[in-house]
């Protein structure tokens, strides 16, 4: 029995030695890992020579158990330090020791152990040394307490050996075995097993309490390690795109700051930015879903890494936009063009997603940073301008930025502002061009045209603002303004015995907007008959069925349906029959060429024949000469429109023409309105 007690005592001593070793190792490990975390945190402050910020960051780690002080050495000189337990003389000795050492020495000082950490910025530039102090006193106190309690337990065990053999067999040996098992688990990193016998008030209970205390401290050490690992992981995630693993916009901005600093401190190097945007990505998202879109982005990122290996950085800055950064001492333009030539076909290559082939294109804008640019953010704006130009030129290509593009962007912005101001100031006004009967010359209809009464440029035609207004989604407001004014003009002559219809051009997008129907319904009791002129392609759009339904709604409300510019789109007899228009307008291009081209004459004759077969009236647009007028009349056109009869006119001129009952001479010399 004495042997068993001796073995238990020996096991306790062995465990104490192991526990001391584990505690000291955990202390050193915690200090090293915490130093790494602090070093990462103060790197930017050291780089920017902000000692105050570095000191505040280090002070923020004061909650770490045992952390005593931090000292940053830059160029072997103290840069920043936290309030420390060490004296100025001690700090000077620490600085001299670590500045002179090429290794990572451990220096005993005032009950603390000091660690060295070299800060490496961007894996290349050593910018300083961080020295941290961690007090070992709590650990030593813990070991001393445990050692004292263990010795006490051994003394008590041997003192009672002779009297309590049976009690020891039942109440000490087994508990020691179970407690030792807990200790073994703790030293192996397993903290799940509960410590038994804590409720006992004897020596075993005291030992169990001591082991529970040690287990709690071991958990604290593990928590510190986990916190350090979590801090490193969070810092990494903050600058990485979660989906692709590429650097994100924040990382790109950090790289810009780094390169701008390098260009100020060192010999300036040439930097090229390639701003990339995927072509056709939205269609994949819309048709196959966002999961397919994520797959495409991941594939693109993989290919960017493979092709752009020479880049200083490649980042995903949002959506389907990426930026590549090239740095060179010589001809960076040649490298940028070569990279762009390689990227476009690489990104266009198809990939497989759930059994389907997916493919995207890529447009690239290239800009170069030089002394004319304040910083790389301005260069990125230039690359974005070039990218916009590449998109507008047909996509799947690269374009370099030039000053002409900047001027175009400025002019575009100015025009955008002027259009919006023009709407606010009611500068958009209707002009009118009458449509006459081919036999009698009477005005049967009036086409409403958009004009911009610009305060500086004068009267501006739609060619100068229509495309941009559509892109800005402003056409609905311009159309509404023009139509409202046009109706008011016609209502002023509503007392005439024969009131011509009012024809307005309507895009397929405008056709589907609810406010158009509201305008139409408000005119149901008006003497003005409204006609919408649809481009031929409108009813062949992907939304064809919805378009037909809306056309039927308009017809039920008494609105006439005209097909504009017939023959210029994808002509379809089936589509024509589905729409069943009242009037078919033949485009001016056919009319202009007809007198001199048998082919164009035959086309007009065919279109007029189709219209006659289905009982559809016709308008020939752009009639400017007697020869054109006589030809289309002889071929059977029922209405005529063009400078040969009336030029576009303002509201007052139109009212004057209508009140005079002016009739165009369709057989001889044209009579035109006085408006130029």
**What is the rounded average pLDDT of the residues 434-446?**
94
Q: Which helix (H) or strand (E) holds 326?
A: strand 321-328
Q: How far apart are CA 23 and CA 145, in angstroms?
A: 13
Higher pLDDT, 166 or 447: 447
**pLDDT tier, 69 (very low <50, low <70, confident <90, very high otherwise):** confident
Report the pLDDT value the prediction gives residue 578, as an integer from 0 to 100.
Answer: 79
Quick check: 422 and 428 in contact, CB under 8 A? yes
| Structure tokens given for 654 | 């139109």
Phi first, then psi, for residue 540 (nearest 5°) are: -110, 10
Print burial letters for 439-450: b (CB count within 10 Å at least 16), e (below 16): eebebbbbbbbb
Percent of the chain with pLDDT over 70: 75
Print burial letters for 309-331: b (CB count within 10 Å at least 16), e (below 16): eebbbbbbbeebbbbbbbbbeee
Report the pLDDT value the prediction gives residue 373, as an integer from 0 to 100.
Answer: 67
Hey, which residues does 562 pair with through a beta bridge? 533, 583
- Under DSSP, the state recorded for 541 is S
- pLDDT of 74 above 70: yes
| Structure tokens given for 401 | 């930025």
| Structure tokens given for 335 | 């490298």
Report the pLDDT value the prediction gives residue 653, as an integer from 0 to 100.
Answer: 94
Q: How far apart are CA 536 and CA 574, in angstroms?
A: 12
**pLDDT tier, 6 (very low <50, low <70, confident <90, very high otherwise):** low
- pLDDT of 457 above 60: yes
Report the pLDDT value the prediction gives residue 673, as an integer from 0 to 100.
Answer: 40
Report the pLDDT value the prediction gives residue 541, as an integer from 0 to 100.
Answer: 47
- Give the tens place of pLDDT for each residue, 310-333: 898 999 998 899 999 999 877 889
Quick check: 152 and 128 in contact, CB under 8 A? no
- pLDDT of 654 above 60: yes
Quick check: 42 and 72 in contact, CB under 8 A? yes
Rg (CA), the chain: 43
- Under DSSP, the state recorded for 350 is -
Number of Cβ atoms within 10 Å of the Cβ of 210: 19
Quick check: 561 and 531 in contact, CB under 8 A? yes
Q: Which of 14-18, 579-583, 612-616, 661-665 comes out lowest in average pLDDT?
A: 14-18
Number of Cβ atoms within 10 Å of the Cβ of 456: 6
Quick check: 652 and 633 in contact, CB under 8 A? no
**Three-state DSSP string of 568-586:** CCCCCHHHHHHHCCCEEEE
Q: How far apart are CA 441 and CA 633, in angstroms?
A: 12
**pLDDT tier, 61 (very low <50, low <70, confident <90, very high otherwise):** confident
**What is the rounded average pLDDT of the residues 390-399?**
90
Report the pLDDT value the prediction gives residue 161, as an integer from 0 to 100.
Answer: 52
**Three-state DSSP string of 173-237:** HHHHHHHHHHHHHHHCCCCCCCCCCCCCCCHHHHHHHHHHHHHHHHHHHHHHHHHHHHHHHHHHH
Q: How far apart are CA 151 and CA 147, in angstroms?
A: 6
**Three-state DSSP string of 336-349:** HHHHHHHHHHHHHC
**What is the rounded average pLDDT of the residues 363-376?**
82
| Structure tokens given for 490 | 């016609």
**Looking up tokens 């004897």, which residue turns up?**
202
Hey, which residues does 618 pair with through a beta bridge? 584
**pLDDT tier, 21 (very low <50, low <70, confident <90, very high otherwise):** confident
Quick check: 58 and 70 in contact, CB under 8 A? yes
**What is the rounded average pLDDT of the residues 238-259?**
88
| Structure tokens given for 530 | 């409204």
Report the pLDDT value the prediction gives residue 472, as an integer from 0 to 100.
Answer: 80
Report the pLDDT value the prediction gives residue 535, as an integer from 0 to 100.
Answer: 72
Percent of the chain with pLDDT over 90: 28
- Give the tens place of pLDDT for each residue, 524-559: 778 888 999 987 555 554 446 778 888 889 999 899
Give the burial class of 163: count Cβ atoms within 10 A of its Cβ; 0-12 exposed, 13-18 middle, 19 or more buried.
exposed
Quick check: 562 and 585 in contact, CB under 8 A? yes
Higher pLDDT, 466 or 537: 466
Report the pLDDT value the prediction gives residue 549, as an integer from 0 to 100.
Answer: 86
Phi first, then psi, for residue 531 (nearest 5°) are: -130, 135
**pLDDT tier, 151 (very low <50, low <70, confident <90, very high otherwise):** low
Q: What are the C-alpha distances in Å from 220 to residues 23, 26, 30, 216, 657?
A: 11, 10, 11, 6, 95
DSSP string, 229-294: HHHHHHHHHTTB-TTT-SB-HHHHHHHHHHHHHHHHHS---EEEEEEEEEESHHHHHHHH-HHHHH
Q: How far apart are CA 647 and CA 479, in angstroms?
A: 21
Residue 107: alpha-carbon gap to chain centroid: 51
Q: What is the mean pLDDT of the chain?
A: 80
Report the pLDDT value the prediction gives residue 36, as an integer from 0 to 100.
Answer: 78
Quick check: 218 and 191 in contact, CB under 8 A? yes
| Structure tokens given for 19 | 């526990």
pTM of the model: 0.53
- Give the tens place of pLDDT for each residue, 557-613: 899 999 887 766 555 677 777 788 999 999 899 999 989 999 999 999 999 999 999
**What is the rounded average pLDDT of the residues 284-289?**
88
- pLDDT of 207 above 60: yes
**What is the rounded average pLDDT of the residues 285-301?**
91
Quick check: 128 and 121 in contact, CB under 8 A? no
Number of Cβ atoms within 10 Å of the Cβ of 149: 18
**What is the rounded average pLDDT of the residues 200-221?**
69
Q: How far apart are CA 333 and CA 366, in angstroms?
A: 9
Report the pLDDT value the prediction gives residue 675, as an integer from 0 to 100.
Answer: 37
- Under DSSP, the state recorded for 566 is E
Q: How far apart are CA 497 and CA 662, in angstroms?
A: 13
Report the pLDDT value the prediction gives residue 268, as an integer from 0 to 100.
Answer: 67
Report the pLDDT value the prediction gives residue 670, as an integer from 0 to 100.
Answer: 43
**pLDDT tier, 410 (very low <50, low <70, confident <90, very high otherwise):** confident
**What is the rounded average pLDDT of the residues 185-190?**
65
Higher pLDDT, 96 or 521: 521
| Structure tokens given for 263 | 């260009």
Q: What are the C-alpha distances in Å from 222 to residues 134, 194, 196, 281?
A: 17, 17, 22, 46
**What is the rounded average pLDDT of the residues 128-133?**
80
Residues ≥6 apart with Cβ < 8 Å to 597:
none
Q: Which of 261-265, 333-337, 416-420 comes out lowest in average pLDDT?
A: 261-265
**What is the rounded average pLDDT of the residues 264-279?**
84
Q: How far apart are CA 244 and CA 278, in angstroms?
A: 15
Q: SS3 of 40, please? A: helix
- pLDDT of 672 above 50: no
Higher pLDDT, 467 or 114: 467
């Amino acid at each position: 029995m004495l042997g068993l007690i001796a073995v238990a005592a020996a096991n306790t001593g062995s465990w104490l030695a192991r526990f001391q070793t584990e505690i000291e190792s955990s202390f050193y490990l915690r200090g090293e890992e915490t130093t790494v975390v602090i070093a990462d945190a103060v790197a930017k402050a050291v780089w920017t020579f902000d000692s105050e910020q570095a000191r505040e960051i280090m002070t923020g780690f004061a909650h770490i158990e045992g952390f005593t002080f931090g000292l940053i050495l830059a160029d072997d000189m103290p840069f920043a330090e936290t309030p420390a337990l060490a004296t100025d003389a001690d700090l000077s000795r620490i600085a001299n020791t670590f500045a002179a050492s090429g290794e990572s020495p451990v220096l005993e000082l005032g009950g603390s152990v000091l660690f060295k950490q070299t800060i490496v910025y961007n894996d290349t530039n050593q910018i300083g040394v961080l020295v941290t102090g961690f007090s070992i006193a709590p650990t030593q106190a813990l070991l001393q307490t445990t050692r004292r309690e263990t010795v006490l337990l051994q003394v008590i065990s041997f003192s009672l050996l002779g009297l309590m053999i049976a009690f020891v067999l039942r109440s000490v040996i087994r508990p020691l075995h179970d407690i030792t098992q807990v200790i073994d688990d703790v030293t192996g990193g397993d903290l799940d097993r509960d410590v038994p016998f804590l409720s006992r008030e004897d020596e075993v209970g005291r030992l169990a309490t001591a082991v529970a205390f040690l287990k709690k401290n071991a958990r604290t050490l593990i928590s510190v390690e986990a916190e350090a690992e979590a801090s490193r992981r969070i810092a990494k995630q903050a600058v990485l795109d979660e989906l692709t693993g590429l650097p994100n916009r924040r990382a790109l901005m950090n790289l810009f700051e780094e390169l701008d600093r390098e260009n100020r401190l060192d010999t300036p190097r040439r930097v090229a930015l390639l701003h990339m945007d995927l072509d056709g990505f939205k269609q994949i998202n819309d048709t196959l879903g966002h999961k397919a879109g994520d797959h495409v982005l991941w594939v693109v990122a993989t290919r960017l890494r493979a092709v752009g290996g020479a880049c200083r950085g490649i980042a995903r800055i949002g959506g389907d936009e990426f930026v590549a950064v090239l740095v060179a001492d010589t001809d960076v333009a040649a490298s940028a063009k070569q990279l762009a030539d390689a990227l476009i076909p690489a990104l266009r290559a198809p990939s497989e997603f759930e059994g389907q082939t997916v493919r995207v294109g890529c447009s690239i804008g290239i800009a170069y940073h030089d002394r004319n640019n304040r910083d790389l953010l301005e260069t990125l704006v230039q690359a974005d301008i070039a990218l916009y130009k590449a998109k507008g030129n047909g996509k799947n290509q690269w374009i370099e930025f030039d000053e002409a593009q900047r001027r175009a962007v400025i002019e575009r912005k100015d025009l955008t502002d002027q259009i919006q101001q023009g709407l606010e100031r009611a500068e958009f006004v209707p002009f009118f061009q009458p449509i006459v009967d081919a036999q009698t010359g009477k005005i049967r209809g009036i086409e409403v045209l958009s004009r911009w009464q610009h305060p500086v440029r004068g009267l501006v035609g739609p060619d100068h603002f229509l495309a941009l207004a559509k892109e800005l989604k402003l056409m609905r407001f311009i159309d509404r303004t023009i139509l409202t004014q046009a109706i008011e003009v016609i209502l002023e002559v509503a007392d005439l015995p024969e009131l011509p219809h009012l024809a307005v051009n309507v895009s397929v997008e405008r056709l589907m907007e609810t406010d158009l129907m509201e305008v139409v319904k408000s005119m149901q009791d008006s003497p003005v008959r409204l006609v919408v002129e649809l481009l031929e392609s409108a009813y062949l759009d992907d939304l064809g069925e919805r378009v037909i339904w809306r056309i039927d709604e308009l017809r039920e409300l008494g609105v006439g349906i005209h097909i504009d510019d017939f023959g210029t789109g994808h002509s379809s007899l089936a589509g024509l029959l589905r729409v069943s228009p009242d009037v078919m307008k033949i485009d001016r291009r056919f009319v202009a060429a007809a007198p001199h081209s048998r082919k164009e004459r035959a086309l007009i004759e065919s279109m007029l024949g189709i219209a006659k077969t289905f009982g559809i009236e016709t308008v020939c647009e752009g009639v400017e000469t007697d020869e054109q007028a006589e030809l289309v009349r002889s071929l059977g056109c029922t209405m005529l429109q063009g400078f040969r009869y009336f030029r576009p006119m303002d509201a007052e001129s139109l009212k004057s023409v209508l009140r005079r009952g002016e009739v165009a001479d369709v057989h001889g010399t044209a009579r035109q309105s006085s408006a130029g």
